[in-house]
């Protein structure tokens, strides 16, 4: 039996809030929600059920507590924490009760575990947190032991003793504890037990968290078959509306700028081409000299213009200049006759028939590619080979690009083994990290591989904190659905404003998105589902557009239509993404077939595929021969 299943959590929120001007402490706004909501989020991963002890504003507490009960004191007159403990023990459906006050939102995530270990070791009735403190007025004096009686793990069986103690009229926690076997557990992080006593404390904490994001968006659109599922487009819109491009930029030489995002418009300093030039090898002449209908004309060649070696003399009537492709058009000329269109060429004479060319033909005009002073490439462009060429054509050798996006990623799950480790029974090799690595690398991110993180609250919290410190975005896989051993959701919720969505799509139904926030750092979190195909589909649909936006650019996935060679089953009310192989039919038109089993754990059918067949939200099954939308893998950068 796990410890969690034996413990009920009790939040003590029944006080008068005397030091906060009698406001209801637990309901004070704190980091985007309320103090009590933060305490609840910290307690929830450690317990199997919860209750809140409160004596005022019960509906507001109930809204936070959800399905857990809100219990007012049985005793009258704000009798203090023991009165809360009494109703908590009366309610407690498990053998142990873990208490925490509503104004201490920082206590350790392994508090239940550590208190329990001491309770067992010392056969105690109650285990209580203790820290070592120093008197700020006398920093040189020896540290003293500070008990925290409101942070306790207590056996439910002490209730009769507590009621007997309360019957005497006594109300002090310390007094009651004297009648019990108490184990004291020393925690080394005293700040973790700090509470928020005054409005100034609260304001100070709020200022420290001034960069905290707006609360995670609430799914706005329900649909017919599952009223809580969010449509794909809506989820993508909500995500992309929140992220913003990284601001830092760097100057790079052109050869280092491939696949980077341009941060400033490139203004053309020159006309491209810089001068009128010939598009053909042939003869430059004046269009006015071309022969009239039914006639022919003979021209005398007076010189040669090579690319890079202009001929600067203007021909007179009946004269022309031999010219090579790219050479500047000599003064006075406005047309070029390609040499193969001359009727005859002999010595320095050429003959041209009527209709061989029109006046103005085969000229590349100055500035026809780019005008001096115009925007050659707008900021936000992901620089491709053609862009490098265009920039070079302007004589520009350096560009300003946005800094690379840093993306940390890790896999979660106790069943995962990394390459090189033996595969024990019930375990699988971690494949998602490799898929994610590939997809992130293709996007041009700086990747930070954080390995496999066990389903352990401390490890998950440490990993998320570390990731938020180093990266702009964090991508995790696994633990976002509703499995029993998954702490991922709790810890994500604890460290930030993270929304957990159920999406009207398949695969990729569960998704977590929000901001992980620590005292100094923050990062956008994409909690992708664990199934190996789901992780890829979710990445392409949600993480990719958001990461591109953070990189300062955007790009939609290319889709095309192809004829389904088989019937495909599908029910309306969710978008389905099926793996397919697109090819060219005998009649030259595109066709698509599915790669077989479409289970979201079947990665082999993903490697066989070269496209995803998109069956839209309202679409029903597809008959063989019908056209369907497909997303080509080759376009997925």
- Of the pair 55, 600, the CB lying nearest ligand MOO is at 600
Question: Which segment (177-185, 233-241, 315-323, 483-491) binds Mg ion by CB under 5 A?
Answer: 483-491
d(CA 68, CA 58): 12
Characterize the bridge pairing of strands 510-517 and 522-528: antiparallel
397-417 b/e (C-beta count within 10 Å ≥ 16 → b): eebbbbbbbbbbbbbbbeebe
DSSP string for 590-623? EEEEE-S---TT--HHHHH-SEEEEE-TT---B-
Among 478, 507, 514, 580, binds ligand MOO (CB under 6 A): 507
CB atoms near residue 574 (< 10 Å)? 23
CB 476 within 8 A of CB 525: yes
- H helices of 473-593, in order, are 488-495, 532-538, 544-551
Among 108, 510, 514, 580, binds ligand LQZAQKY5 (CB under 6 A): 510
Question: Which segment (42-50, 183-191, 517-525, 529-537) binds ligand MOO by CB under 6 A?
Answer: 529-537
The structure tokens 């989020």 sit at 41
439-452 b/e (C-beta count within 10 Å ≥ 16 → b): bbeebbbebbebeb
Q: What is the CA radius of gyration of the chain?
A: 36
Measured at the CA of 367, the angle between CA 366 and CA 368, to 5 degrees, comes to 95
**Which of Mg ion, ligand MOO, ligand LQZAQKY5, none sits in contact with 156, Cβ below 5 to 8 A by type?**
none
User: Tokens for 286?
Assistant: 């004046």
Measured at the CA of 362, the angle between CA 356 and CA 363, to 5 degrees, comes to 140
- Of the pair 281, 415, the CB lying nearest ligand LQZAQKY5 is at 415
Contact code string over 486-525 relative to Mg ion, x by CB under 5 A: x---------------------------------------
The residues facing 528 across adjacent strands are 477
**Which of ligand MOO, ligand LQZAQKY5, Mg ion, none sits in contact with 480, Cβ below 5 to 8 A by type?**
ligand LQZAQKY5
CB of 259 to Mg ion, least distance (A): 35
CB within 8 Å of 157: residues ≥ 6 apart:
95, 125
Ligand-binding site membership of 390 (annotated): no
Nearest alpha carbon to residue 103 among 187, 194, 188, 173: 194
CB of 530 to Mg ion, least distance (A): 6
Q: By CB under 6 A, what part of segment 399-418 binds ligand LQZAQKY5?
A: 411, 413, 415-416
- Of the pair 510, 545, the CB lying nearest ligand LQZAQKY5 is at 510
- Of the pair 297, 541, the CB lying nearest ligand LQZAQKY5 is at 541
DSSP string for 157-196? GGHHHHHHHHHTT---HHHHHTTS-EEEEE-S-GGGG---
Nearest alpha carbon to residue 470 among 494, 449, 496, 491: 449
Among 330, 529, 552, 580, binds ligand MOO (CB under 6 A): 529
Question: Which segment (124-132, 484-492, 509-517, 582-590) binds Mg ion by CB under 5 A?
Answer: 484-492
**Which of ligand MOO, Mg ion, ligand LQZAQKY5, none sits in contact with 416, Cβ below 5 to 8 A by type?**
ligand LQZAQKY5
Ligand-binding site membership of 332 (annotated): no
- Of the pair 301, 538, the CB lying nearest ligand LQZAQKY5 is at 538
428 binds ligand LQZAQKY5 (CB under 6 A): yes
Ligand-binding site membership of 392 (annotated): no
Q: By CB under 6 A, what part of segment 452-491 binds ligand LQZAQKY5?
A: 477-483, 486
d(CA 446, CA 402): 13
Among 335, 600, 605, 619, binds ligand MOO (CB under 6 A): 600
d(CA 560, CA 17): 63
101 binds ligand MOO (CB under 6 A): no
Residue 393 buriedness (CB in 10 A; 0-12 / 13-18 / 19+): middle
Residue 195 buriedness (CB in 10 A; 0-12 / 13-18 / 19+): middle
Ligand-binding site membership of 103 (annotated): yes
Among 277, 531, 575, 591, binds ligand MOO (CB under 6 A): 531
Estimate the crossing angle of helix 35-43 against helix 488-495, to 10 degrees.
150
483 binds Mg ion (CB under 5 A): yes
Among 84, 315, 496, 530, binds ligand LQZAQKY5 (CB under 6 A): 530
CB of 485 to Mg ion, least distance (A): 8
d(CA 32, CA 50): 22
Give the DSSP letter of residue 272: B
- Of the pair 35, 512, the CB lying nearest Mg ion is at 512
**Which of Mg ion, ligand LQZAQKY5, ligand MOO, none sits in contact with 477, Cβ below 5 to 8 A by type?**
ligand LQZAQKY5
> HSE on the CB side for 56, CA within 13 Å?
12
The structure tokens 């599908």 sit at 570
Measured at the CA of 149, the angle between CA 146 and CA 154, to 5 degrees, comes to 135
Ligand-binding site membership of 25 (annotated): yes
CB of 33 to ligand LQZAQKY5, least distance (A): 24
**Which of ligand LQZAQKY5, ligand MOO, Mg ion, none sits in contact with 148, Cβ below 5 to 8 A by type?**
none
Question: Closest residue (Cβ) to ligand LQZAQKY5?
Answer: 530
Among 8, 86, 411, 481, binds Mg ion (CB under 5 A): 481
User: Tokens for 138?
Assistant: 């006398």
Q: By CB under 6 A, what part of segment 74-133 binds ligand LQZAQKY5?
A: none
- Of the pair 319, 486, the CB lying nearest ligand LQZAQKY5 is at 486
CB of 437 to ligand LQZAQKY5, least distance (A): 11
d(CA 156, CA 148): 19
Tell me the number of residues near Mg ion by CB under 5 A.
Answer: 3
d(CA 45, CA 150): 19
Question: Which segment (185-193, 504-512, 515-523, 589-597) binds ligand LQZAQKY5 by CB under 6 A?
Answer: 504-512
Nearest alpha carbon to residue 535 among 475, 450, 489: 475
Tell me the number of residues near ligand LQZAQKY5 by CB under 6 A.
Answer: 27
Binding-site residues for GTP, in ranges, read 12-14, 25, 53, 73, 103
Which residues form the interface with ligand LQZAQKY5 (CB under 6 A)?
411, 413, 415-416, 428, 430-433, 477-483, 486, 507, 509-510, 529-532, 534, 600-601
Which residues form the interface with Mg ion (CB under 5 A)?
481, 483, 486
Binding-site residues, in ranges, read 12-14, 25, 53, 73, 103
Binding-site residues for Mg(2+), in ranges, read 103
Which residues form the interface with ligand MOO (CB under 6 A)?
506-509, 529, 531, 534, 600
């Amino acid at each position: 039996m796990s410890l969690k299943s034996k413990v009920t959590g009790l939040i003590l929120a029944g006080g008068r809030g005397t030091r906060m001007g009698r406001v209801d402490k637990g309901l004070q706004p704190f980091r985007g929600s309320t103090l009590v909501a933060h305490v609840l989020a910290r307690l929830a991963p450690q317990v199997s059920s919860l209750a809140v002890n409160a004596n005022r504003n019960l509906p507001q507490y109930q809204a936070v507590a959800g399905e857990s009960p809100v219990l007012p004191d049985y005793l009258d007159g704000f009798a203090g924490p023991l009165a809360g403990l009494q109703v908590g023990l009366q309610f407690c459906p498990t053998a142990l009760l873990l208490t925490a006050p509503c104004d201490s939102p920082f206590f350790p995530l392994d508090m239940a575990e550590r208190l329990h270990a001491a309770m067992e070791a010392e056969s105690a009735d109650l285990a209580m947190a203790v820290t070592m403190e120093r008197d700020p007025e006398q920093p040189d004096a020896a540290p003293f032991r500070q008990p925290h009686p409101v942070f306790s793990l207590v056996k439910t069986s002490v209730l009769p003793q507590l009621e007997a103690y309360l019957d005497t009229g006594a109300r002090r926690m310390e007094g009651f504890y004297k009648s019990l076997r108490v184990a004291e557990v020393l925690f080394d992080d005293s700040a973790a037990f700090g509470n928020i006593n005054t409005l100034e404390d609260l304001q100070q904490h709020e200022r420290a968290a001034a960069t905290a994001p707006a609360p995670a968006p609430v799914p706005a659109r329900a649909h017919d078959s599952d009223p809580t599922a969010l449509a794909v487009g809506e989820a993508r819109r909500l995500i992309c509306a929140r992220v913003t491009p990284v601001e830092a930029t760097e100057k790079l030489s052109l050869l280092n700028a491939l696949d980077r995002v341009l941060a400033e418009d490139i203004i053309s300093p020159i006309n491209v081409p810089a001068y009128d030039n010939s598009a053909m090898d042939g003869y430059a002449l004046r269009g006015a000299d071309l022969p009239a209908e039914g006639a022919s004309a003979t021209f005398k060649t007076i010189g040669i213009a090579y690319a890079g070696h202009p001929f600067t003399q203007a021909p007179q009537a009946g004269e022309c200049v031999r010219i090579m492709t790219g050479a500047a058009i000599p003064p006075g000329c406005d047309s070029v006759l390609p040499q193969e269109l001359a009727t005859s060429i002999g010595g320095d004479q050429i003959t041209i028939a009527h209709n061989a060319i029109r006046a103005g033909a085969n000229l590349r005009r100055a500035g026809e590619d780019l005008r001096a002073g115009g925007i050659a490439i707008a900021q936000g462009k992901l620089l491709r080979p053609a862009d490098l060429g265009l920039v070079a054509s302007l004589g520009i050798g350096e560009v300003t690009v946005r800094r690379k996006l840093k993306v940390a990623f890790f896999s979660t799950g106790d069943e995962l083994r990394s390459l090189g480790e033996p595969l024990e029974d019930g375990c699988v090799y971690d494949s998602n990290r490799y898929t994610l690595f590939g997809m992130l690398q293709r996007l041009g991110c700086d990747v930070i591989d954080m390995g496999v993180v066990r389903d352990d609250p401390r490890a998950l919290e440490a990993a998320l904190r570390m990731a938020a410190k180093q990266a702009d975005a964090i991508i995790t896989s696994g633990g976002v659905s509703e499995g029993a051993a998954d702490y991922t959701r709790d810890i994500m919720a604890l460290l930030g404003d993270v929304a957990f969505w159920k999406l009207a799509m398949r695969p990729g139904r569960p998704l977590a998105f929000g901001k992980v926030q620590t005292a100094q750092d923050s990062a956008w979190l994409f909690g992708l589902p664990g199934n190996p195909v789901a992780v890829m589909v979710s990445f392409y649909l949600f993480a990719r557009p958001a990461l591109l936006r953070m990189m300062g650019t955007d790009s939609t996935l290319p889709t095309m239509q192809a004829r389904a060679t088989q019937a495909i089953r599908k029910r309306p009310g969710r978008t389905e993404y099926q793996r397919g192989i697109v090819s060219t039919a005998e009649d030259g038109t595109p066709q698509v077939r599915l790669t077989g089993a479409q289970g979201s754990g079947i990665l082999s059918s993903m490697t066989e595929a070269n496209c995803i067949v998109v069956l839209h939200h309202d679409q029903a099954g597809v008959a063989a021969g019908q056209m369907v939308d497909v997303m080509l893998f080759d376009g997925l950068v």
